[in-house]
Chains A and B, each alone.
Chain A
Amino acid sequence: MLILKNITKIYGSDIVALDNVSFEVNSGEFVLLIGKSGAGKTTLLEILRREEEPTKGQIYFKNKNLLELSRKRLGEIRRKISAIHQDFKLLNKKTVFENIALPLEILGKSAKEIKNEVYNIAEKLKIKSKLDQIAETLSGGEKQKVCLARCLISKPEIILADEPTGNLDPIASYEFIEILKEINKEGVSIILATHNKEIVESLKTRVLTLDSGRLIRDESPGKFTLI
């Protein structure tokens, strides 16, 4: 479903953030992206949503070359390839309801449709009681759930999660990963960037290892590829 070919990103004239990274992600797959700080995880995820442009390489999403899409169509892609960030990226002065509803408002849905869909998602993620609360008053775990709800409401095919548990306590982290597993079971592909060893060990799924911008390992349970 998602194919990356020789993605290279060079900042300035000589800072290589990504060096010829190539891999594929199939539909419904759960992929972990690991590496030290500065290994290029965030840059790679940003390139996948064209928040950054690669210096070289190709990205195909469902056989469409993402890098050839006009900027006008980026919105559509960003709803299909949704993102979760470590620092949540919520509208802190707005309510939980308003935050979750944002992608639907962009699509121009009616107030009734928005209300129904927001209530359904909130119920699923057990944050229905928080809908009228202002986002900045929530705990880290709750904020990350709101962020996830905002992703799910636009029915994404891939979720890119960049250190989503970085600001969460161990219990909230565990709970959040469990939710991601549930969502993955429903068919949504997930690429989770993390340097949390416990998550890597507990998930037993495919792991891509980045080191200084290079993809050095691609391991799946029972399968190991040294690149």
Chain B
Amino acid sequence: MFNKIKKILRSGYNLFWQEKVISLINLGTTILVTFFIWFGFLSFYFFHQMINYLQQRLDFSIYFKTNVSREDILKIQKILQEFPGVIKVDFVPQEVALKKFQEEAKSNPVIAKALKELQSNPLVDYLIIKAENSEVYPKIADYLEKSPYKAYIDYITYFENQKVIKRIISISNQLRLLISALILVILVFSSLIIFNTIIASIYSQKEEIEVLRIVGAGNWFIRGPFFVYIFIFSFLGYIISLGILILFLMKTENFWPTIVSNFQPSNFISENFLILNLIAFGLILLINFVSALMSMEKYLQK
């Protein structure tokens, strides 16, 4: 058994060096397909970050009427904090709101002067709500609209941003669909490329397969070297393309946040290094092995 395994491993290794041109084509295909798969991952991450970024930019604040007591506002804050999908609810009293506004207006002398001349605080108490995603905001707005607290509320910024929020929800849903379709197309395209190069590799070995059948080799003795061969070029191709990708992302590290501020592919890769590589390399091996099994079958029938 050990001798058989040794022979299979040696034959697979020899096949890699014996068919140099085909090995080079297979290596090139693996590199290309690895790039495709990583492009799929990074696109997914990019759109995910872009949606997050846009959602973070959304302003959902509840401004209260001047006659509403702090106790009532804090009660509403507590209720909203327990609302499903809400991350946090910050209370901003009118004094803090004025101070913030004064700070922001420092650079604008006209507004700064006007603020100094004010006798009373024109701003009101308000709550800033952060939710897990933009789909939570319409639900909060709907809840408040139907609640007894409606009378306390002066206005909600959501209604001003309603169109933008709905558009973002719609875009993010469409993008999710688009990314899934994109990844599917990439996988199908990659499988076709690999399948064809594997067919060519096996076709070049059909005489050897025939001879092995004649002398009584079992199916696994014939398939074994091809699987070793596939593993060698898949592994080499994967390592080469991963190296190129990492180098490229390191060199362009400062560029990506200029597109979307929270988009940094190298962080995404390093945080999910093991799982991403397992998926990508696993996919390549799976496509290669299945292609080999399918294209070899007709030569193993006799």
Chain A residues packing against B (C-beta within 8 Å): 51-52, 71-72, 74-79, 83, 85, 89-93, 102-103, 105-106, 108-111, 150, 154
Instruction: With A51-B302, A91-B211, A102-B211 as known contacts, state yes or no: A110 contacts B218, CB within 8 Å.
Output: no
A108: chain B residues at CB < 8 Å are 1-4, 7
Please report which residues of chain B, range 178-225, place their CB below 8 angstroms from some CB of chain A when the two chains form the complex: 207-208, 210-219, 221
CB of A159 to closest CB in B, whole Å? 12
Indicate if B174 sits at the interface (CB-CB under 8 A). Answer: no
Starting from the known contacts A52-B302, A106-B218, 7 additional A-B residue pairs (CB-CB under 8 Å) come to A89-B207, A89-B214, A92-B207, A93-B18, A106-B216, A108-B2, A154-B216
CB of B302 to closest CB in A, whole Å? 5
Main secondary structure of the interface of B (DSSP, over half): helix
Instruction: With A91-B211, A105-B7, A106-B221 as known contacts, state yes or no: A78 contacts B1, CB within 8 Å.
Output: no
Please tell me if the beta carbons of B215 and A102 are within 8 angstroms of each other in the complex: yes
Instruction: With A71-B219, A93-B18 as known contacts, state yes or no: A110 contacts B210, CB within 8 Å.
Output: no
**Once the chains are docked, how many angstroms separate the CA of A31 from the CA of B86?**
90
B3: chain A residues at CB < 8 Å are 105, 108-111
B207: chain A residues at CB < 8 Å are 89, 91-92
Identify the interface centre among B18, B207, B208, B216: most chain A CB within 10 Å of its CB.
B216
22 contacts between A and B (CB under 8 A): A51-B213, A71-B219, A75-B218, A78-B215, A78-B216, A79-B215, A79-B216, A89-B211, A89-B214, A91-B207, A91-B211, A102-B211, A103-B215, A103-B216, A105-B3, A105-B4, A106-B215, A108-B1, A108-B2, A110-B3, A154-B215, A154-B216
Instruction: With A74-B216, A79-B216, A106-B215 as known contacts, state yes or no: A91 contacts B221, CB within 8 Å.
Output: no
How many A-B contacts are there with CB distance less than 8 Å?
Answer: 58
A71: chain B residues at CB < 8 Å are 219
B1: chain A residues at CB < 8 Å are 108
Please tell me if the beta carbons of A72 and B214 are within 8 angstroms of each other in the complex: no
| Bitwise interface map of B from 1 to 29 toward A, beta carbon under 8 Å scored 1, else 0 | 11110010000000000100000000000
Please tell me if the beta carbons of A76 and B214 are within 8 angstroms of each other in the complex: no
B7 — nearest CB in chain A belongs to which residue? Answer: A105
A75: chain B residues at CB < 8 Å are 216-218, 221
Identify the interface centre among A75, A105, A109: most chain B CB within 10 Å of its CB.
A105
A93: chain B residues at CB < 8 Å are 18
**Once the chains are docked, how many angstroms separate the CA of A154 from the CA of B4?**
16
Chain B residues packing against A (C-beta within 8 Å): 1-4, 7, 18, 207-208, 210-219, 221, 302
B18: chain A residues at CB < 8 Å are 93
Instruction: With A72-B218, A108-B1 as known contacts, state yes or no: A102 contacts B212, CB within 8 Å.
Output: yes
A51: chain B residues at CB < 8 Å are 213, 302
Please tell me if the beta carbons of B7 and A83 are within 8 angstroms of each other in the complex: no
CB of B15 to closest CB in A, whole Å? 11
**Once the chains are docked, how many angstroms separate the CA of A154 from the CA of B217?**
12
B208 — nearest CB in chain A belongs to which residue? Answer: A91
**Once the chains are docked, how many angstroms separate the CA of A75 from the CA of B218?**
6
**Once the chains are docked, how many angstroms separate the CA of A103 from the CA of B7?**
12
Instruction: List the 5 shortest-distance A-B pairs measured between CB atoms, nearest first.
Output: A78-B216, A75-B216, A108-B4, A79-B216, A108-B3
CB of A61 to closest CB in B, whole Å? 14
**Once the chains are docked, how many angstroms separate the CA of A105 from the CA of B222?**
12
CB of A46 to closest CB in B, whole Å? 8
A75 — nearest CB in chain B belongs to which residue? Answer: B216
A85: chain B residues at CB < 8 Å are 214
Partner of B214, one of A77, A78, A110: A78
B217: chain A residues at CB < 8 Å are 75, 102, 106
CB of B20 to closest CB in A, whole Å? 13
A111: chain B residues at CB < 8 Å are 3
Partner of A89, one of B7, B210, B218, B219: B210
CB of A52 to closest CB in B, whole Å? 8
**Once the chains are docked, how many angstroms separate the CA of A83 from the CA of B216?**
10
**Once the chains are docked, how many angstroms separate the CA of A110 from the CA of B6?**
10
A102: chain B residues at CB < 8 Å are 211-212, 215, 217
B218 — nearest CB in chain A belongs to which residue? Answer: A75
**Once the chains are docked, how many angstroms separate the CA of A105 from the CA of B215?**
10
**Once the chains are docked, how many angstroms separate the CA of A225 from the CA of B273?**
78
**Once the chains are docked, how many angstroms separate the CA of A150 from the CA of B2?**
22
B218: chain A residues at CB < 8 Å are 72, 75, 106
A50 — nearest CB in chain B belongs to which residue? Answer: B302
CB of A115 to closest CB in B, whole Å? 13
A90: chain B residues at CB < 8 Å are 211
**Once the chains are docked, how many angstroms separate the CA of A77 from the CA of B214?**
11
CB of A42 to closest CB in B, whole Å? 13
**Once the chains are docked, how many angstroms separate the CA of A79 from the CA of B116?**
104
A110: chain B residues at CB < 8 Å are 3
CB of B91 to closest CB in A, whole Å? 75
CB of A116 to closest CB in B, whole Å? 14
